[in-house]
Structure 1
Amino acid sequence: MSEYIKDRTNLHHFIDISIRLTTEKDASKLLEEILKVVMSISHSDAGTIYSVTENKQLKFETVINKSLNLYLGGELGEPVDFPNIDLFIDGKENETAIVAHAVNSGDVINIPDVYAALPFDMSAARNMDARTGYRTQSMLTIPLKDHTDDIIGVIQLINVKDQHGNIIPFSDELVTLIRSFASLGAISLTNSTLIKGMEELFSTFVETIAMAIDEKSPHTGGHCKRVPALTLMLADAVHNTDKGPLATFVMSDSDRHELDIAGWLHDCGKIATPDHIMEKSTKLETIFDRIEYIDTKFEIIKRDLEIDYQKQIISAMKLNRPIEVLQFERLLDTELKQLSLDRAFLQRVNVGGEFLSDEDVANIDRIASQYQFVINEKQTPLLSEDEVENLQIRRGTLTLGEREVMKRHMDVTKSILDTLPFPKHLSNVSEYALGHHEKLDGTGYPQGLTKDQMSIPARLMAIADIFEALSAVDRPYKKAKPVSECLTILGRMVEDNHLDADIFAVFVECEIYKQYINDFANPEQLDHVDLTTLPGYSPIK
């Protein structure tokens, strides 16, 4: 080593090379860097670095030849059009190619003169030399091993030169030096590959959670996929904003990845939410929609009414009282019509698509107290107390108790995220993910945070989450709302200090809603939006 690091300058060069190898994270760039480093320290005229493919072949990553002014592959070079080299031919190890032999054996191969290198087939090198006028002479081939001793690549150096420019063999001391750098490069490459593999594993695992929720609840699974997309659309728009209070907000690629992970995980706790609540598409739905049970009870009441009146009609006919017969028939018809109206009313309010008025609530109480029937000589009301409670839900399909169960998904989400040992570059995932049900005035959940306690990514995820829910086309309990209505609801939440006004302004002015609707919803929802009357919106200045 002293021959090649003779003074302080060379020592600095040595250290710089080590740093470059250990700081580069991109695998392809790292391979290129390893080749350039070992060519530099060995004064080699040419070199090639190969990667090992999954189908047992060697792929040319970078090819450099100084004398021929050749630079192929890597970040800056021309594309490499050389065919891959098979490690096995007809099920047997490829013994004719030096690089294949190096991989299969794990040996370092040092050849002073390749033209005399038997038993290797050097015809390819000779043919290349004949076409280019180049003379391949000394060659060093070093396999790169990872932490499990698997070969992940090969370095091949050609024509090492002395200080006078003469081609010489690779000395044992130089081979040792090159191997040390190759090992350092292999370690760096392994770490880079492992990090990338772990990132891909974690990202895929996160997406499988959404897939699991999708299997449990198709409409919620769609929500879990769409919220990350809308969140990044809005985050990119805020990042690109160059005016207003958010002009200083910027995101790196790492920040964006972190926010994307948070988006995928924001509702992971719903995997523990009971199916009968998650999938409650009507007010009376449990395992089945109890409106069918109530329909059956209406049929029994209708039958009893008809039987009771028929008895009275027959009795009046026997007594030859035609006026009473006519009166009974009219009363029966009136009661059957009212029964049919009340039945249709309960079927309508069961859907939960509209806000229930005080008059509607009172009407449900009237129906519950008015109709009864007899089963096993016992008077049974048409509606049980639980059915009355569910039918009198003012908005949506969930009772207050069921809403509390739904809200608990955030506690489960928090427990899951608190358990995960996020690395430093994902340390904000939990904060971002848990922020989508918080409100700026501190009345949200699960932690009751205020605006000052919430980051911009958490605040923008809240807008993305609500807009997705309002505009969704796959909810079983409601129709998809037009954009104007969705934005009006968001704007009112801004006025109530629940959502961030500045982020809402970016959402509106950059027309993120249009991009999202075109990509993930129904373009027919894109109706006219009058910004002059939109609540909660103020132009960005």
Structure 2
Amino acid sequence: MKNKSNSARLNTLPKTPKIPFEVLVYDRLAKEVRALRPTFEALGMKTLSVFQTTPASHNRSLTKASFVIIPINVFLEQHTQAMTTTAAKSKTEAKTSSKNRTLGKKQKSSKNHPSIITWLNEAEIKHKDNLPLVILSYKKAQLSDVQKLPRKDNILVVDQTLFNSNVLVTHFLARELIHFKNRQAARKLTSAPPPAAQKPPTEKTPAPITENRNIASEERELISKEILNIGLNISKERDTVKILEEILVNSMRITQADAGSIAIRGMDKELKKTNEDVLTFYISKNTSRELHFSKFSMPVSKKSLGGYTTITGKLLNIKDAYQISNRKIYSFNREFDEKTHFRTKSVIVVPMINQKDETIGIIQLINKKASYEKIIDYKNFKQTDVLSFNDEDVTKLQALASLATISLQNAILYHEIDHLFHSFVEASVSAVEQRDPATSGHSFRVSKFSTLLAEACNGAGGIFSDWFFTTTQLRELEYASLLHDFGKIGVREHVLLKSHKIEQTRFVNLIRKFDVMILNFQNQSYDEMLDLFREGTKNNIPMLELEQKMTFIKTKWKKKIDRLKEHKKIIERYNEGMPLTNEIKKIIQECSYLDVDATFFKEKLITSEEEKFLSIPYGTLSTNERIEIQSHVTHTFEFLKKIPWTDELKHIPEIAHYHHEKLDGSGYPIGIKAIAIPNQTKIMTICDIYDALTSADRPYKKSMNQNKAIEILKSERDTGKLHPDLLELFIRNKHIRNAIKANSTPELNVIL
């Protein structure tokens, strides 16, 4: 099945001239080199294999072979042996010629492989010419050994690591060997007798190769190298759009096409996979006219030129798009030409085929010109303005399409992995925020604001001239901002969600004690009035006097009960996170002296444990709970540190770790100062504080409007905690203001 696959792919390769090649493949080749053999055979080049045969068989093979392939490590090994034994052999050759013959017999019976150097020497005598030797280097570590190779014009060193396809390696070798034979023929021509002494060429004898043909051969060699350079350049690029543009521009240039476009199969306009079988045209160019282009998709169908090539994998080379036979299944749509007064004549459509023999896209070029610089006047169009694409154009374009396919697939794969990772990060952040619904969306907003602020720095100048953030640094900031609170997963949930100074279950008991205390006061007032009534009856106290005393008792206990009820209300409000005041301190102290005397229990109205929590000066967290919350930055750092980040993203743990540090050293967890805080972190800190202040109510604080939040940020700036110029840029930048407005509540939008 694999050989069939290679053969199918070779159907689209340019045909090599009819030169009878026979290849001798040295049997110590590595697996990677053997893989070339089916491809040679598919090109019609007979492969001679040598496996433990006699020297006579080797010699016959060498006589027939057009060239020999050998791996660089084998050649170097045997070449070194040959060089070290040459001197010894030359000394003993004259004295022991008979012994040498005996040794030769022994060598014939040996199971070892005959020396490739010996083969080549014998072959050159029998060929009466240099036999081309192809040395394949298929490991990067061996490239330095090329300098050790002998300097002979019959030796061709091929770095197989530059090719990602056996088809490309084989085709490149075939072209190079054609050039070798042409150079050989040219040398024979220059050393041959004058033309008068030669026999005139006949039909059976091919005409001598001319100097022009040799020049053309060198031009083709330059073009091959140029295509390889183009392939190397695009293989380093990760931006898919830039890759497509580079492919199209170079395709048009080397074929002298006036216009062209590239379409990718199964992708939407954002280069994301889609379930629909469509061809999406991402890029289009025209050198003679300025035409507005926007991405569009079309169903894959054999009725269109692009669809036909995509489905069949066959190249189309059309001399005139307006004269396509009705018998063809495909046709040309003239709608674009009619709208733009364009004239499409010669068209070539080349498939971009991956290693699975799937067509992932097409390169479509239109109207070959006499020179790339020529401008075609389509208003006064002449048929002679446009040429047909020839076989050499096909060769160039197919070679470039093969290289482009590999680079494009690598880029798409890179973006798919990047998108997968980004989605995983977002899903992880969402999962963490589910533990604390009040902070939902906080990390995403901080990431958005931080990226916008960093981009604003790039164009701000002044103090930010040295603050330019590359695309890689912006991605680092984006991911660090998304993950900056990930460590909250290590904080206990009841601490993370604590909305009151005293937890709700314990606070309910405290309120009940207040209620019991109020009932006690009421009962004491009733008991006191009952005792007074009994005393008045016993002592015949006048009714008027008795009523006055009763009123006094009622008033006394009512004041106590009302005061206790007021204390209860204040404690309820204060427990929600109000700052501790002197008035509340007195209330707490007063209540801590009261004893609740109930049927089943007797204790202080406010116990020492309750007093400790009620004495929290700000918010709802105790000192230990605040330390636990602050530990989330350490948890974040420890978590992010375990991820094997690439070199481009290796600073993410550090950027996220310091987002609660302040320029004056008053932050946490380490207390470092401005010089040690990364610039990306300084940006994130401002955005994090702002969003925390203005976002929805949190358990430990209420949401505030923008003006109040800006006042707090400015006070932090004035005390040396925040970067003053960054804060000013944050406040004034219109893109950040628009993003804030888009992510704000209706109430905040009124303020904005």
TM-score, structure 1 as length reference: 0.78
**Residue in structure 2 matched with residue 250 of structure 1 by the alignment:** 468
1:22 counterpart letter in structure 2: S
Counterpart position of 1:537: none
Percentage identity across paired residues of the two chains? 26
Cα separation, 2, equivalents of 1:155 and 1:448: 58
Residues 305, 482 of structure 1: CA spacing in aligned structure 2 closer, same or farther, 3 A cutoff?
same
Task: Tell me if the contact between 1:306 and 1:332 (Cα under 8 Å) persists in the aligned partners.
Answer: yes
Alpha-carbon separation, structure 1, partners of 2:717 and 2:645:
32
CA distance in 2, matches of 1:5, 1:303: 110
Pairing partner for 1:267 from 475, 479, 485? 485
CA distance in 2, matches of 1:441, 1:468: 22
Instruction: Give the letter for the 2:430 counterpart.
Output: M
Deviation at 1:70, TM superposition (A): 5.9
From 306, 309, 312, the equivalent of 2:528 is 312
- Look up the match of 2:79: none
Give the partner amino acid of 2:513: K
SS at match of 1:59: strand
Contact preservation (8 Å) 1:483, 1:525: no
Aligned residue number for residue 530 of structure 1: none
Which residue of structure 2 aligns with residue 33 of structure 1? Answer: 246
The letter for the 2-side match of 1:35 is L
Aligned length: 506
Answer yes or no: is 1:143 the counterpart of 2:351.
yes
Residues 23-422 of structure 1 aligned to structure 2 (within 5 Å) = 23-43=236-256, 47-53=260-266, 54=274, 55-62=276-283, 69=288, 77-79=291-293, 84-87=297-300, 94-108=301-315, 120-124=328-332, 136=345, 140-146=348-354, 150-157=358-365, 171=391, 175=394, 177-243=396-462, 245-285=463-503, 288=504, 290-320=506-536, 322=546, 325-353=550-578, 355-376=579-600, 378-422=601-645
Matching residue of 2:121 = none
Matched, 1:424 2:647: yes
Q: Distance in 1 between matches of 2:506 and 2:735?
A: 41
What SS does the aligned partner of 1:216 have?
coil
> 1:129·1:136 contact (CA, 8 Å) conserved in 2?
no
**Distance in 2 between residues matched to 1:265 and 1:56, nearest whole Å:** 37
Compared CA separation, residues 86 and 410, structure 1 to 2 (3 A): same
Distance, in Å, in 1 between the alignment partners of 2:299 and 2:737 is 51
Structure 1 contact 410–434 (Cα < 8 Å) conserved? yes
**1:479 maps to what in 2?**
702
Between the aligned partners of 1:257 and 1:303, the Cα distance in structure 2 is 64
In the aligned structure 2, how far is the partner of 1:394 from the partner of 1:498?
22
Deviation for aligned residue 1:404: 1.4
> Relative to structure 1, is the Cα distance of residues 165 and 336 closer, same or farther in structure 2, using a 3 angstrom cutoff?
closer
Instruction: Map Cα deviations across residues 65-123 of structure 1 (whole Å, 9 max, x no partner).
Output: 77xx467xxxxx42269x85432xxxxxx444453343234445567888676863344
RMSD over aligned CA atoms reads 4.0
- Between 1:510-519 and 1:12-21, the stretch displaced more is 510-519
Shift of 1:332: 2.1
- TM-score, structure 2 as length reference: 0.58
Q: Is the 8 A contact 1:98 1:120 kept in 2?
A: no
CA change 1:170–1:257 in 2 (3 A) is same
Deviation of 1:256 (Å): 2.9
User: Within 1, Cα distance between the matches of 2:516 and 2:550?
Assistant: 23
Unpaired segments ≥5 residues, structure 2: 1-174, 180-215, 267-273, 372-383, 538-545
Show the counterpart of 1:74: none
1:56 Cα deviation from its structure 2 partner: 0.9
Matched residue SS, 1:364: helix
Quick one: structure 1 residues 272 and 147, their matched pair in 2 at CA, closer, same or farther if it must change by over 3 Å? farther
Q: What code does the residue aligned with 1:363 have?
A: I
- On the 8 A contact 1:47/1:157 being kept in 2, the answer is yes
Contact 1:472 1:480 in 2 (8 A): yes
| RCO higher in structure (CA 8 A, sep ≥6) | 1
Once the two structures are TM-superposed, the CA of residue 185 in structure 1 deviates from its matched residue by 0.7
CA distance in 1, matches of 2:265, 2:641: 39
Query: 2: CA distance between counterparts of 1:421 and 1:449?
Result: 26
Residue of structure 2 in register with 1:534 after alignment: none
| Cα offset, 1:512, TM superposition | 9.4
Q: CA 1:398–1:150 in 2, change beyond 3 Å: closer, same or farther?
A: farther
Q: What whole-Å deviation, never above 9, does each CA across 1:470-523 have from its counterpart, x for those lacking one?
A: 333433443344556544544444454433344345456769997676553644
1:456 lines up with 2:686 in the alignment = no
Q: How far, CA to CA, are the matches of 2:561 and 2:584 in structure 1?
A: 20
Distance 1:42 1:375, change over 3 A: farther
SS at match of 2:332: helix
- Are the aligned partners of 1:440 and 1:498 in contact in 2 as well (CA < 8 Å)? yes
- Choose which of 692, 711, 717 in structure 2 pairs with 1:469: 692
Contact persistence 1:140–1:170 (CA under 8 A)? no
